[in-house]
Amino acid sequence: MSKKSTSGLTIKPLYTADDLDDIDHLGSMPGDNPYTRGPRATMYTGRPWTIRQYAGFSTAEESNAFYRKALEAGQKGLSIAFDLPTHRGYDSDHERVVGDVGMAGVAIDSVEDMKILFEGIPLGEMSVSMTMNGAVIPILASFIVAGEEQGVARKQLSGTIQNDVLKEFMVRNTYIYPPEPSMRIVADIIEYTAKEMPKFNSISISGYHMQEAGSTLVQELAYTLADGREYVRAALAKGMNVDDFAPRLSFFFCMGMDFFAEAAKLRAARLLWTRIMAEFNPQKEQSSMLRTHCQTSGVSLQEQDPYNNIIRTAYEAMSAVLGGTQSLHTNSFDEAHALPTEFSARIARNTQLILQHETGITDVIDPLAGSYYVESLTKQLVDEAWLLMEEVEAHGGMTKAVEEGLPKLRIEEASAQKQAAIDRGETVIVGVNKYRPKHPEELDILEIDNHAVREAQVARLNRMRKTRDENRCQSALDALTSVAKTGEGNILEIAVEAARARASVGEISFALEQAWGRHKAEPKMVSGVYGSSFEDDEHFADVRSQINALEKQLGRPPKILVAKIGQDGHDRGAKVIATAFEDLGYDVVVGPLFQTPEEAAELAVSKNVDVVGISSHAAGHKTLAPMLLKELANLNAADKIVICGGVIPVQDHEFLKEAGVAAIYGPGTNILESALSLVTLLKEQMRGRNL
């Protein structure tokens, strides 16, 4: 009997040769169109995939030291993680980023930081991948100038810039400008790099963050390739020839725990991309090849029984290799607690080295080819993803679909369904909802001194501003605003001049903001999806009845504000909590993204909520939670219950509770249990008020 897999695919208990009858891609060879078996004829028998570990934290000096050690230990390329203020186009001295500087990546405010980041690392020889979308213009401009001042011409620089803004509006939310001007940035970067940087990949079209936000594999595949189609159209609209830029397009996928389906997904992606590119009539073979980087899943990492994450990552890495990835990042086992330590990062890196050197996996090209099961999965993924892409086309393409909120809604529905399956125990996660250890494991964690990092960044910014030619800098920034307003000229070309004049990341971003404004998303949530998964469930009914009883005591439903404070745009956890709590009977207010503690406190008071729930995934909790509590006290609202959820190390729990946080819910927390524990907290609050 067929059933649905954890990825939402229909699978059978037995596959035979009959399942291959209607599959027309079986005759292809590796390196041949439609590249199902790999984009290169020899694949890993000629050269293994690139080990490209994503890393960055604190200051440029700290990250540089980390990169140099990793390269000495066998890493072959760099993948840069920037902090959230950098992503959002703010300098470290901006009032909105107090708790975020250096916390979830490296702080880069200018060319000066970029030069330190790559000190002793020859940019003419090293491939550099940069995960950057919102502030992609100032970051790429600063990288180009840092290369020049290291003696490396633009044409010698190799690597990849993510530059995929459409998925930011869907899931990750580190956007700055509205969709239309953001698409112009994408096209200008493609144009500039095609002319000036022939070794550089102008875009990495990313499905990774979709799966991290809860998408199904079919959604990840369909929406990623639909984004790619939209970017090709944007470049063609600038008058470019498809063969001048298409060979440098690259992709980025997440590798989760559905082992065979994940490998099949990469095979399906290559086939689908050839189908899409045929619409544009390319003449070069390379224009139709999908090349991809992969990263093991962050959301599959669990806080509970954390050493299990080493095993999960190894399976996910092998799946990526069997699917034919070109480069790979393996997550560290402690990332559900905090940033990776040097110890955990070494294990993650060695996972790939062992795969390359000890398993024999590089000896054979496409070992899964011809598998009844894998080839059937590949076809199913192709067919179902194509239907979703056709739906996007019916809405006028991906930019229009994103503006309407279609992909975001579909992904949030899938995310709520996934969480319900975990909370019900239908999807087993070892150490979380089954086989839980009796005693939690406490890990050594990497802790960043946010205040010290920010002070160092601000001091360097001030030094740079005092020594630069202010007239030259302002003239370059004015030119940038003009180019953005008029639509004439290439934005990246002008931004390189501004970076040379030592304009900061924040100043370049603001020059564009003056022309286009800063995008603000309206907070929305799906309803009924989580609750509908618990029909006839006694535990769900019991929790709901207790919330209903509390409603009678209060004379209204208990009310909670789900708040995202700081520059962290990862809102999967917040959205799932919001929709689940609403289905259980809470009155839920979803705050807008990127609030300051002061703004969140004011919203909590104006909406008269009983509870403020902070969702934290970017290590800013030790700064931002106490600030929120202080702001509530200033508004005579210190009696409101404040709780925290997300990636919060056990070591930080006592600090937060001493500051006044009532409860902390880490990754893997059962939503029904957290909803019930909140009822207890509210009852205790009511008793305290009545004393």
pLDDT at 532 over 60: yes
| pTM recorded for the entire structure | 0.92
Alpha helices in 468-537 (DSSP H): 470-486, 491-500, 505-516, 529-532
- Find the mean pLDDT for residues 68-88: 87
Which one of 94, 115, 564, 622 is the catalytic residue?
564
Q: Are 144 and 192 in contact (CB under 8 A)?
A: no
209 as an active site residue: the answer is yes
pLDDT digit string, tens, across residues 205-228: 999 999 999 999 999 999 999 999
What average pLDDT does the structure give for the chain? 92
- Find the mean pLDDT for residues 105-111: 94
The structure tokens listed for 239 are: 């008058």
pLDDT, position 76: 74
pLDDT at 422 over 80: yes
564 as an active site residue: the answer is yes
pLDDT at 687 over 90: no
The burial of 681, by beta-carbon neighbours within 10 Å (0-12 exposed, 13-18 middle, 19 or more buried), is given as: middle
pLDDT digit string, tens, across residues 368-403: 999 999 999 999 999 999 999 999 999 999 999 998
Q: How far is Cα 394 from Cα 406, in angstroms, rounded to an integer? A: 12
Handedness of CA 634, 637, 639, 641 (dihedral sign): negative
The burial of 405, by beta-carbon neighbours within 10 Å (0-12 exposed, 13-18 middle, 19 or more buried), is given as: middle
- Find the mean pLDDT for residues 567-596: 91
Which one of 329, 337, 379, 570 is the catalytic residue?
570
pLDDT digit string, tens, across residues 21-71: 989 888 889 999 999 999 999 999 999 999 887 777 788 898 898 888 888
Which one of 25, 209, 293, 640 is the catalytic residue?
209
- Find the mean pLDDT for residues 127-135: 93
Which one of 109, 164, 258, 568 is the catalytic residue?
568
Q: How far is Cα 126 from Cα 628, in angstroms, rounded to an integer? A: 43
pLDDT, position 340: 84
Q: Are 432 and 301 in contact (CB under 8 A)?
A: no
SS3 58: strand
- Find the mean pLDDT for residues 499-516: 98
Pairing relationship of beta strands 10-11 and 3-4 according to DSSP bridges:
antiparallel
pLDDT at 691 over 70: no
What are the helix and strand counts (H, E) for the chain?
26, 16
- Find the mean pLDDT for residues 525-546: 91
pLDDT, position 440: 76
- Find the mean pLDDT for residues 130-150: 96
Q: How far is Cα 593 from Cα 601, in angstroms, rounded to an integer? A: 14
pLDDT digit string, tens, across residues 433-469: 999 988 877 778 777 788 899 999 999 999 999 999 9
Handedness of CA 481, 486, 491, 497 (dihedral sign): negative
Q: How far is Cα 161 from Cα 171, in angstroms, rounded to an integer? A: 19
Give residue 165's pLDDT band: very low, low, confident or very high (50, 70, 90).
very high
SS3 643: strand
pLDDT, position 55: 74
223 as an active site residue: the answer is no
Q: Are 595 and 565 in contact (CB under 8 A)?
A: yes
Give residue 74's pLDDT band: very low, low, confident or very high (50, 70, 90).
confident
pLDDT at 569 over 90: no
From 412, 195, 441, select the one nearest 302 (Cα to Cα): 441
Give residue 8's pLDDT band: very low, low, confident or very high (50, 70, 90).
confident
Q: What's the one-letter identity of residue 573?
A: G
Q: Are 166 and 405 in contact (CB under 8 A)?
A: no
Which one of 44, 54, 90, 175 is the catalytic residue?
54
pLDDT, position 690: 63
598 against 441, higher pLDDT: 598
From first CA to last CA, the distance across the chain in angstroms is 60
Q: How far is Cα 276 from Cα 226, in angstroms, rounded to an integer? A: 9
Q: Are 415 and 576 in contact (CB under 8 A)?
A: yes
640 as an active site residue: the answer is no
Give residue 94's pLDDT band: very low, low, confident or very high (50, 70, 90).
very high
Q: What's the one-letter identity of residue 28?
A: S
Q: How far is Cα 29 from Cα 302, in angstroms, rounded to an integer? A: 39
Which one of 35, 208, 530, 586 is the catalytic residue?
208
From 430, 668, 345, select the one nearest 330 (Cα to Cα): 345
pLDDT, position 168: 93
